[in-house]
């Protein structure tokens, strides 16, 4: 084995990843690769009902949209709400967002279904910058005022669906391609 060649090869690989990391391109590249993976259809949401029937969704709280307006969570009562928790630095979050945007476009005319994409970055401007740099169609807000207990999660992305009666009927931590006929039908049926 030629150790000089091995060291040189590993050095180039490390330099490449260091470049991506220090330029801030690592989440972008990571998200693009994961988005391609999602496009294959290999990772889809599991539509098993979450057993949270004894708990109602907590509609308390406010968010800030990227125009500076306050959005009350209570305004979503009585509707089916698709909620996604994300951050600008999260590669899996970036990967699933184009698919969520397509799902949103296909359901835009459904008056009883709302989408709420909640940015969790510590810095409002980072969340805003990501959303403004893309052509995604869904409504996005920032958790400038914190999040309530119903929205707290161990990881991101996290997606949940709250039905019109205020029950959580879907909960998933991790990325998925939600733009499927099965998931669309599930949302409409709520």
- CA atoms within a 13 Å half-sphere pointing along the CA-CB vector of 22: 6
Please give the C-alpha separations between residue 157 and each of 8, 68, 79, 183, 184, in angstroms, as whole numbers: 37, 24, 22, 17, 19
The pTM (predicted TM-score) of the whole model is: 0.76
Each residue's pLDDT tens digit in the chain (190 positions)?
678 877 888 888 888 878 878 888 777 777 777 777 777 776 666 655 555 544 789 999 999 999 999 999 999 999 999 999 999 999 899 999 999 999 999 999 999 999 999 999 999 999 999 999 999 989 999 999 999 888 888 889 999 999 999 999 999 888 899 999 999 999 999 9
């Amino acid at each position: 084995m030629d150790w000089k060649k091995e060291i040189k090869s590993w050095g180039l690989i490390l330099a490449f990843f260091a470049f991506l990391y220090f330029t801030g391109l690592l989440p972008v590249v990571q998200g693009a690769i994961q988005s391609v993976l999602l496009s294959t259809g290999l990772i889809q949401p599991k539509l098993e009902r979450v057993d949270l029937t004894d708990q109602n969704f907590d509609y308390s709280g406010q968010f800030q949209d990227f125009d500076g307006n306050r959005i009350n969570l209570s305004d979503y009562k009585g509707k089916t709400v698709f909620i996604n928790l994300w951050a600008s630095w999260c590669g899996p979050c970036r990967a699933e967002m184009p698919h969520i945007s397509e799902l949103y476009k296909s359901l835009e005319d459904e008056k009883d279904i709302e989408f709420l994409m909640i940015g969790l970055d510590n810095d409002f401007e980072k969340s805003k910058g990501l959303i403004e740099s893309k052509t995604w169609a869904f409504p996005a807000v920032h958790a400038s005022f914190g999040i309530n207990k119903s929205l707290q999660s161990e990881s991101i992305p996290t997606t949940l669906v709250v039905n019109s009666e205020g029950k959580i009927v879907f909960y998933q931590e991790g990325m998925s391609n939600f733009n499927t006929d099965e998931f669309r039908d599930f949302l409409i049926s709520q």
